[in-house]
Amino acid sequence: DIGNHVPSVRRVPELDVEAFISERNQTRADWTLSDGSQQIMRCYLLIGADERHAVFFHGSHTLMDACPTLRAFGNLLCCMCHDSNKDLADLPWGTEWTNLPVGPVSATGGPRDDWETSGIEMIQKVVQAHQPETPTRGLVPQRQTVMKSSKPVHVHSILSDDVSAELLRAVKNHGHGLTISHIFEAAQALAILKLHPVPEEDLVTSHITWPGAIYTLDGWMVPPYNSEMRFVSSLGLFPIIVQCKEILWQAQREERIVSLAKIIESQWKEYLVRPHFPHLLAVIIQLNPPLVPTISSNPYSTTYTNLGIIDKVLPKIWAVDETGSDTIVIQDMSFGHWLTTPTVLMHIWTMESKIHVQVEANDMWDEDYLQSYLDEIVHQAENVLPLA
């Protein structure tokens, strides 16, 4: 036990991971150690019955976005399964500073030649997207005030492997560079408009804007900064805008969501093909440092993140010894956030060939409402499937 008197190891008669995450997400991720130094991350071990256990990392998002956190879990499991028998006292203490990350510009290969033209043009495009005449359409919270600070409310749906495979196959058949990510982003927009319809007289001016579509910078990292041992957040953000008048409201359900997904895909591509993209967020924050937690002109705007295929980073089975008789088997993954704004978060990922969808918000929102929203997202995404 260190710092704030919360045990790092717990024996629990019943493994309730979601309850533990909710509890931890209501506490700040900073701890003072006995020597007065600060700890910025903690690892918890929940020891359950029937050989079912859980490992939980708690820390700041400045370290723990999806890719580095999954790699950190992989490194932990690798150490557990391949014990080097090296004593902690023999580790080269005092060299930790050599692992401190450089900035995102250096880590992704340095400044690009035409930043003053193409790069500035990209910044202007982002600034314009964040200054709309009409705020983005969003969901409507059930309360205007937070009842319990930082209490997360989240719902989670797992699509069967058959439905997941059908969705992926249908998206691939449509071509045009579409991915399941574009389909679920389009489904999210349609779900918002289903729960909070736009009056006909406002259709021309209404829009849904994702203030910060999220994409990992891992693919731009250059040696030596692309090491598997690197543990620091590395994200790019850019806005995506869907004008409600562009949605094919009178079309068949499949055509409607596919056409909307194509609009979204074209905007993703517009940013990601630019060589300056990995430097965009760093420059914007340098020019206009965020002083208060804000998302957009509408605090109820939404976010969307696709964590990708978890199994590619974290294999399901880890052999503890060479014989393979003892193994660690990953059964599930859960996560949550300390939420400082009323923004409703959405994450999707694939694990064991099943698509997972999670919606999370603070307690200005009722769980039943978030469940209705999640169900509508899945329903809209399934519209990409051809009619039987």
What is 325-357 written as a DSSP string? Answer: SSEEE-----------S-PBEEEEEEETTEEEE
The CB density around residue 10, as the number of other CB atoms within 10 Å, is: 14
Least confident range from 18-22, 154-158, 358-362, 369-373: namely: 18-22
For range 147-169, the mean pLDDT: 93
pTM value?
0.91
The pairing of strands 345-351 and 305-309 is parallel
Give CA–CA dist 92/27, Å, rounded: 33
Residue 46 has pLDDT above 80, yes or no: yes
pLDDT at 340: 80
Q: Which residue is it, tokens 């930043």?
A: 115
Which position has the higher pLDDT, 149 or 161? 161
pLDDT at 294: 63
Q: Which helix (H) or strand (E) holds 229?
A: none
One-letter amino acid for residue 227 of the chain = S
One-letter amino acid for residue 55 of the chain = V
- Helix, coil or strand: residue 280: helix
Residue 302 has pLDDT above 50, yes or no: yes
Q: ∠ CA(15), CA(18), CA(23), 5° rounding?
A: 105
Residue 3 binned pLDDT confidence (cut-offs 50, 70, 90)? very low
Query: Mean pLDDT for the chain?
Result: 89
Beta bridge partners of residue 53, listed in sequence order: 47
Give CA–CA dist 197/193, Å, rounded: 5
Q: What percent of the chain has pLDDT over 70?
A: 93
Tokens linked to 312: 């590619």
For range 225-248, the mean pLDDT: 90
pLDDT at 85: 64
Which position has the higher pLDDT, 320 or 204? 204
Residue 91 has pLDDT above 80, yes or no: no
pLDDT at 190: 98
Give CA–CA dist 387/48, Å, rounded: 45
> In this predicted model, what pLDDT tens digit does every residue of 185-194 receive, in sequence order?
999 999 999 9
Least confident range from 53-62, 160-169, 258-267, 347-356: namely: 53-62
For range 67-87, the mean pLDDT: 84
Before 224, cis peptide (omega within 30)?
yes
Give CA–CA dist 248/257, Å, rounded: 8
Q: ∠ CA(56), CA(226), CA(276), 5° rounding?
A: 110
Q: At what angle do helices 367-382 and 161-174 cross, to 10 degrees?
A: 50
For range 334-353, the mean pLDDT: 92
For range 203-221, the mean pLDDT: 93
pLDDT at 295: 60
- φ and ψ at residue 381, rounded to 5 degrees: -65, -40
> In this predicted model, what pLDDT tens digit does every residue of 303-318 receive, in sequence order?
899 999 999 999 999 9
Give CA–CA dist 228/38, Å, rounded: 25
Query: Of 127, 90, 171, 159, whose CA–CA distance to 383 is shortest?
Result: 171
Least confident range from 78-87, 242-251, 278-287, 344-353: namely: 78-87
Q: Which residue is it, tokens 């806005």?
A: 239
pLDDT at 360: 95
pLDDT at 32: 81
Which position has the higher pLDDT, 226 or 138? 138
pLDDT at 332: 92
For range 284-313, the mean pLDDT: 82
For range 341-355, the mean pLDDT: 94
Q: Are 383 and 254 in contact (CB under 8 A)?
A: yes
Tokens linked to 64: 């723990």
Domains of the chain with CATH codes: 1-31+38-60 (no CATH), 114-382 (3.30.559.30)
Residue 92 has pLDDT above 90, yes or no: no
pLDDT at 300: 83
Give CA–CA dist 373/359, Å, rounded: 8
Residue 5 has pLDDT above 70, yes or no: no
Q: Are 234 and 104 in contact (CB under 8 A)?
A: yes
pLDDT at 1: 39
Residue 6 has pLDDT above 70, yes or no: no
